[in-house]
Amino acid sequence: MDNNIPDIEQLIKQFSKLPGLGPKSAKRIILKLINNKENMIKPLAKLLANVYKNVVRCTDCGNLKVVNQQCTCELNSNTYDKICVVENLADMWVIESANIFKGHFHILGGTLNSDEKYEQKNLLINSLVKRIKKNNLKEVIIATSATVEGQTTAHYIEDVIKNDKIKISKLGQGLPVGGEIEQLDDGTLVSAFKNRVPVSTD
Ligand SMILES: [Zn+2]
């Protein structure tokens, strides 16, 4: 697509930033869209505008919710006594689709580097503490990735939430070093959940 229409050029640039897409596949997608203005661009533009306007991140659990509506974390607050802490939404989705965990989710929204202060990042850790107390949760499963950042984050969380009453565990064997939750296959995830190890809190 060799042309000088700035909007198209910008669009290709934006699409190239999406996961799994390079400039070539971005161009193919744009071409497909342009050839189907009514059937594809129109509904897509409308949906994107709606999502931009109406979908926000819940400041309690980190999940997506419709603005001005109650989040599922509030509606289901008494359903379970376990909570699984993950780095991002994609991690929650793989765990959900593997069907290995029944409980609440808590999405941190990222990880900590060892040289970063918690205050520098906008991770939802204070709200995790609040949810544990408020919903009287019994077990926290920290399902951060087996990367340096993931483990730094896990340690930080352990320190913040540990007390006599709460059971804290981490995903166990089977989790490859450097492995990101999002990239794991179901079998590995199942085994990591089954073999989760208690974190000693002394
Ligand atoms: Zn929520």
End-to-end CA distance of the chain: 62
Ligand 1 centre and the CA of 76: distance in Å? 10
Write the pLDDT tens digit of every residue in 111-135: 987 666 656 678 999 999 999 999 9
Write the pLDDT tens digit of every residue in 153-191: 999 999 999 887 899 999 876 667 777 888 888 888 888
CA–CA distance, 101 with 128 (Å, rounded to integer): 18
Ligand 1 centre and the CA of 106: distance in Å? 8
Question: What sections of 36-88 are H helices per DSSP?
Answer: 42-54, 72-75
Ligand 1 centre and the CA of 74: distance in Å? 6
CA distances from 108 to 14, 83, 102, 124 (A): 26, 12, 18, 5
Identify the DSSP state of 21: -
Ligand 1 centre and the CA of 107: distance in Å? 9
Collapsed DSSP state (helix, strand, coil) of residue 18? coil
Collapsed DSSP state (helix, strand, coil) of residue 71? coil
- The full length of the chain comes to 202
Ligand 1 centre and the CA of 139: distance in Å? 18
Write the pLDDT tens digit of every residue in 68-118: 999 999 888 888 999 999 999 999 999 998 888 999 999 999 998 766 665
C-alpha atoms less than 13 angstroms from C-alpha of 59 in its C-beta half-sphere? 3
Tokens of 168: 């804290």
Please say if the pLDDT value at position 41 is more than 70: yes
Ligand 1 centre and the CA of 59: distance in Å? 7
Start-end of CATH 3.40.1360.10 domains in the chain: 72-198
Ligand 1 centre and the CA of 62: distance in Å? 6
Ligand 1 centre and the CA of 73: distance in Å? 4
* CA trace torsion 50, 56, 62, 68 (10° rounding): -110
CATH topology of domain 72-198: Dna Topoisomerase Vi A Subunit; Chain: A, domain 2 (3.40.1360)
Ligand 1 centre and the CA of 136: distance in Å? 16
Ligand 1 centre and the CA of 110: distance in Å? 16
Tokens of 56: 């926000």
Ligand 1 centre and the CA of 58: distance in Å? 5
**By the 8 A CB rule, do 57 and 63 touch?**
yes
CA–CA distance, 14 with 17 (Å, rounded to integer): 5
